[in-house]
Structure 1
Amino acid sequence: MTAVEREYEADVVVETRDVPAEDVVTLTLREVGGRPLPSWEPGAHVDLILAEGLVRQYSLCGDPADQHVWRLGVLREPESRGGSAQIHDRLHPGTRVRVRGPRNHFPLLASPRYLFIAGGIGITPILTMIAAVDAAGADWHLVYGGRRRASMAFLDELAGYGGRITVAPQDRTGLLDLDSLLGTPRADTLVYCCGPEPLLAAVEARCEGWPAGSLHVERFTAKPLTDPVISGSFEVVLRKSELTLTIPPDRSVLEVVEEAGVDVLMSCSEGTCGTCETPVLEGEPDHRDSVLTPDERAANHCMMICVSRSRTPRLVLDI
């Protein structure tokens, strides 16, 4: 039994490898057979399928118009679970690696004015965004923070934008002055932020008074999980598969669905990548992911079944 819709998946070869900052590498990837890669838009990311079954997500930071090359920027995490270490140590020009995607849960929406806030390697999805809005003639500004200037990637590329960029290494300027940046809500401005969890949480807190839909964030790590609304079991009906399953409190919807023989796409199992997004037909999900916006959660049209659960005794899913 299967209910999966396959994404693009193929082998690519590392064409070039650069070191734009301390502990950061950029890789350009080309499809092994030379065929065009899927198109993508600013904010998109792809999966790298690594050895030992590791699957990790990285933002695309090249030129969306070039369908023959994808570029990624990868930070070596000091407490890596194996993904970034593999990439830094094993992926060199000529190395093959498998990719899947792209997908985009951080889309760039139209606006007359933008404020971009990037922390560390969170600059990667922002690079293509500022190129797009600059080409479109929008008003924008980027504030880019990092621990030290030497650890901040792509500064040479960003220098071409002149005064639209504020570079703020923490060891020289301290923490970003978010109160000044976000203290006054602006109805004509969209805020895009990507970086470590403390930065995202601080930006979210300061944007609570902004108009709904003003803030857009992307997380590389999952937000801490809260206690589920329903502490016991609940029922999930799979409409297409004609199955009714019981989800116990100690297992995820994804685990039970896969055990029943229904093949669904998944990747991170942490609620950050969006791969397992599943349409909801009836019931109210207990959203516990790090992907959906507040408006998307309120709409209840979909859920990430790797971590999200149910607020109602019964959910009906379109799989």
Structure 2
Amino acid sequence: MTTGEKDAAQAAPHSVAGHPGIQSLRVARKEELAEGVVRLRLEEPNGFRVPDWTPGAHIELVLPTATQGALSRHYSLCGDRWEASSYEVAVLREPNSKGGSHYIHDELVEGQMLNVGTPRNNFSLSQAKRYEFIAGGIGITPIMTMIAAAEQLGIDWHLHYGGRSRASMAFLPELEAYGDKVTIWPQDEMGHLNLTFLAETVEHGRVYCCGPEPLLNAVAGAAEAWPAGTVRFERFVPAQLPEPVRTEPFELELAISKKVVTVGTQQTVLGALNDAGVPVLSSCNEGVCGTCEVGVLRGTPEHRDSLLNDAERAKNDRMFVCVSRAISDRLVLDL
């Protein structure tokens, strides 16, 4: 790399005017990884450095569809995080797509520019002496980055990877290099993924699982003996929840702006804040992306997101305002 290239790589990314958290990246490569799965390489057009990220992170793609307008979709990063000026994601063609995967598979072309959000991580890799990685289908994407990190750190790990068929399972050629550290489990050949190994806990071990809801539920049941906080999940869709504990209005006290905002029976916290002129960044409105996280200083939220684990919820020091509500009469927020 020449001095000029190095300086360019260290410069600020090409931001979209008025949106400092969004950058405009070029689709440098679009390729089929497996049956129904494409990989996108998104590059900063001037070779500038893109924001750093950590294993388990995802980015938001703003997709300019012709029929539905701009769609915001979140995809896990799966490339080399040391690549300074590009990101990679893998996208499954969803049969019941709401427009995002259809657009990426059928309309997005190489050379096209896309608005891309700054990486966020709600599925971060914690220190351990042993990792059990479990992936179902396209859930392999964040796990690939965790495997790379475990290898670099010299930490023991094993991957249990299930899918509909070998043809539908992405990254199989790359995973072959790891030999018996990887168990491949195609459902059409072997049935459902065998989770009996979770019956025994591993001292200083952690489990990371990403995949469809039936797999997550099966892993949660099989890993009941593992200590709290040692089993982490990444969800594609929101978890099914009961009706809110509290349906009557409650108050938000905003510690910084000194405002008091009432959240109505049919309102979200996010909606009430926006109506009061307190803008909070949001994206999915389903409690799965983490964009709308707000600090809680006092009071008890009712956590209705699909991100926090039980230990994190018990702290009551943050909430995701697009879906979560309050148990107490008042919440004091760091806003």
Tell me which interval the TM-score lies in, with the shorter structure as reference length. over 0.9
Where does structure 1 differ by over 3 angstroms across 4 or more consecutive aligned residues? none
Residue 59 of structure 2 is aligned to residue 46 of structure 1: yes
Aligned partners of 1:120 and 1:49: how far apart in 2?
A: 24
Does the 8 Å CA contact 1:147/1:171 hold for their aligned counterparts?
yes
State the TM-score, normalizing by the size of structure 1.
Answer: 0.96
Alpha-carbon deviations, 1:175-218, whole Å to 9, x = none?
0111x121112222110000001111111122222112210111
| 2:294 aligned counterpart, secondary structure | strand
Separation in 1 of the partners of 2:117 and 2:193?
35
| Contact 1:192/1:215, CA 8 A, preserved across alignment | yes
Q: Could you say which residue in structure 1 is the equivalent of 2:161?
A: 144
3-state DSSP of counterpart to 1:275? coil
Is the counterpart of residue 253 in structure 1 residue 277 in structure 2?
no
Question: Which amino acid counterpart does residue 157 of structure 2 have in structure 1?
Answer: W
Report the equivalent of 1:164. Answer: 181
Matches within 5 A, 1:190-269: 190-269=206-285
Q: Give, as a single letter, the amino acid of the residue that structure 1 aligns with 2:43.
A: R
Query: Could you give the per-residue CA deviations for residues 21-57 of structure 1, whole angstroms, max 9, x where no partner exists?
Result: 0110000001133211001110000000112131111
Quote the residue 2:309 is aligned against: 293
Equivalenced residues, count: 313
Gaps of 5+ in 2: 1-18
- Give the superposition deviation at 1:88: 1.1
Query: Does 2:81 align with 1:68?
Result: no
- RMSD (CA atoms): 1.1
Q: Which amino acid counterpart does residue 160 of structure 2 have in structure 1?
A: V
In 1: Cα distance, 2:105 partner to 2:258 partner: 45
Which range moved further: 60-69 or 7-16?
A: 7-16
Percent of aligned pairs with the same residue? Answer: 50
Distance 1:296 1:205 in 2: 20
Q: Does structure 2 conserve the Cα–Cα contact (< 8 Å) formed by 1:117 and 1:143?
A: yes
Instruction: Report the alpha carbon displacement of residue 132 of structure 1 after superposing the two structures with TM.
Output: 1.1
**Correspondence for 2:39 among 26, 38, 41:** 26
Runs of at least 5 residues in structure 1 that lack an aligned partner in the other structure: 1-5
Q: Secondary structure at 1:297's aligned position in 2?
A: helix
Q: Say which SS state the counterpart of residue 270 (structure 1) adopts.
A: coil
User: Which one has more relative contact order, counting CA pairs under 8 Å at least 6 apart?
Assistant: 1
Structure 2 counterpart SS, 1:127: helix
Residues in 1 aligned to 2:257 and 2:244: alpha-carbon distance in whole angstroms: 26
AA matched with 1:47 = E
Tell me, in whole angstroms, the C-alpha distance in 2 between the residues paired with 1:284 and 1:187: 33
Normalising by structure 2, we get a TM-score of 0.91
- Whether contact under 8 Å (1:121, 1:195) holds in the other structure is yes
**Contact preservation (8 Å) 2:130, 2:202:** no
Measure the CA separation in 2 of the matches of 1:7 and 1:119.
Answer: 34
Q: In structure 2, do the counterparts of structure 1 residues 249 and 187 end up closer, same or farther at CA, with 3 Å as the change threshold? A: farther
